[in-house]
Structure 1
């Protein structure tokens, strides 16, 4: 099993046996980072692995930690390198105001668009709120009016809360299909986390595709590669989302005049036959525009250390909150050495 981590002196990977416990993980991280007592943070928003509640003998794979980038925080005196928080070419100081401005630079995302003269429409990026529900919001906006399979629910709008519950019900009703190996954690543990705000990803996309009988195409911004959920099921329609590494947004087709900014007029599902241009334009044009803008990834996922109090922070929201609470503004990025 491969565990990815970040710490005050950089980051890297750990290779652990499949049967490793949380105790084994902690020992390996302490040895790898050269730290004494450490705290392990994971997920988004960052959560601290509770090592006082009998979890030390639990297997790492049961907690699903192999799917996370672990952030290592010394809990005693920070190392001298962190206390000094030097600004260098290797760890450039992050201008907080500049980072926040970058994250807001495209407003609604309507300027990320591709003209399609043959249909007199634009293919446009609809930016989702960065609130932990982005995947469910992005997909939910394409599901309105569809009738789920085997679930007594039909809505013009499927909210993240509704979709989370549908996914959890599906997992619980199909224990042979969604077991520990498939989920990377005990099913009930996984379901509880999902109901309590855990980010959605490939597992949830595959389940939603099955529930709503729709192919969901998730396009990776960095590579332009499309991942098809439900591709072999002969679904009549498909929708498209783009994934920046930490965030999902929705692709929509909008009229070129008059209602460009009116989401209620968007086309968000297409017939699976004859609309190859939608996915092609997303991969070749939309993603290229986003790469040119270094879209989201460097802002939402970066890890920094506060130059004044040395607290480890991850992402724009945590940094903003810390600055407002403490008045501190100088931070230094912790590089991910991969």
Structure 2
């Protein structure tokens, strides 16, 4: 534990819970200087175990290690195969179709590798890392990878020696969205059911909630992987990759985890023993687990492990003097929008639905990490209260910008609110905080403010949205006679890019203080719009009772897939969701009929925004205040006069012919490009083809 404390002390507090990279930090190490293919072939003459995988399997389940074929070969054999020779021992595996991966090879325990382990002097990076015998060796050809997973113990440092590897990392807070599973079973490893070679976001839609961080490691780079961060690692760019890593345990934390790992093994081995022989559950275990399950004393060993872990104590870890300085420039691996790593939907297929519940699914349910967490098996002293709590790093989004908040799991809501007020300048009495999917308001009442972040299940990596509620007493929401002389309701034109609804709503709600200039244009923020689409998809997914197939007019999976596409329009369903998200009444004024549809009217919201709908396009309505040169986009719901103004404006637009009559408008199917006439034609086309995405067709 003290070793990890010393290492983490090198990093700033705000860095310790994020993956970090030190570029070219190990370029001078002997491994970087000497480990050419010829050198490795000469020095490492023994046989290594290579896992074989197919290069083309992307839309199937992950290529699990327990299902793989293996080849015993030397490094010289591997490089001969890479040069195009299909001689033994790789004769069965054409190089163009297969990859090979020697992984998890502990150098000190692998005779073929022990001679070169001194070429990786971890102590030159951190003096407290003096034992190079803990290094693990990885050698793989292009596209070799391990399924996405996280390690249940400790932290991890990785050195890239040759070739390139792409790391896709996810924070622990993304665990609910990554479909965790303990089948296949490997001690200390929780896998994701998603195949990240081609992540199927249609089959696994919760993936859209995640916050990936992607980095490509090159020779000499060192990566720090914090505790419980998910990672999918793949060799890229057609070369062979060699990497070394070292895992560092944290005994004071890991002992509790060891109890859970032993419980998982007991549950798995017991269920496998009781399962029908045809279920073949034992085949879902890694080789070491299968061997252990076949031994005579596995139960006794695991019970002893639990008792030992529960009774083991560790001396108090006293704070270390701050004398260490980072010897390299460590940088946080930046976050990437999940959309950037997703394949095109045309590459994805949904597996056939199977109504039968398999024995494997039942066993996997019992082994799920959330289920294993249920028994209260850890007692004092390991379960004693941590008065300082675990670090919690949050993202805070507000109109004034984005901020990073550093708290702990035992911090109260009041402490969170105090930090938000300090960063954003929002008055405490006007503060509104939301988090989660769908966003839920945090109770800031005196009683609610006493709750801790852990009690609310707010953890590192979560995003908090901060708003300052607009008071109905302010000049922005009350139209006085003086203001009426200097204001008029106008139509602000949103871009015609299939995102007009989302752009218009964002334009209105982001101007709560009515400070936007009259000249400010309505501009589509592609990132913000995509975030809105993802938010809507998550809300629909989380509430199947409300958003069922009857309401959506299509299967939920089809709706989710469609709404996240940039060309998909928004309509009534999306307006109702956005009304609830922003806690504001959204009034849509129809140019053709003059009707006003008031979404959220039944919720008694105190404020409203106005949108003009011309039959196919949404624009925001705003009050121009010529005396101040500003726009007002949020109005009090007690101010009904603005609705009359909106209807007058809609009538003016209609007289000018600036609307689309859906009865006879020219449409086109976005999928098959078929030209259509009017709403009825679109409905008939959807019924006959299943296509439900349309756009306006240019008139000739």
Normalising by structure 2, what TM-score? 0.25
Normalising by structure 1, what TM-score? 0.49
User: Max radius of gyration: which structure?
Assistant: 2
Higher RCO structure, 1 or 2 (CA under 8 Å, sep 6+):
1
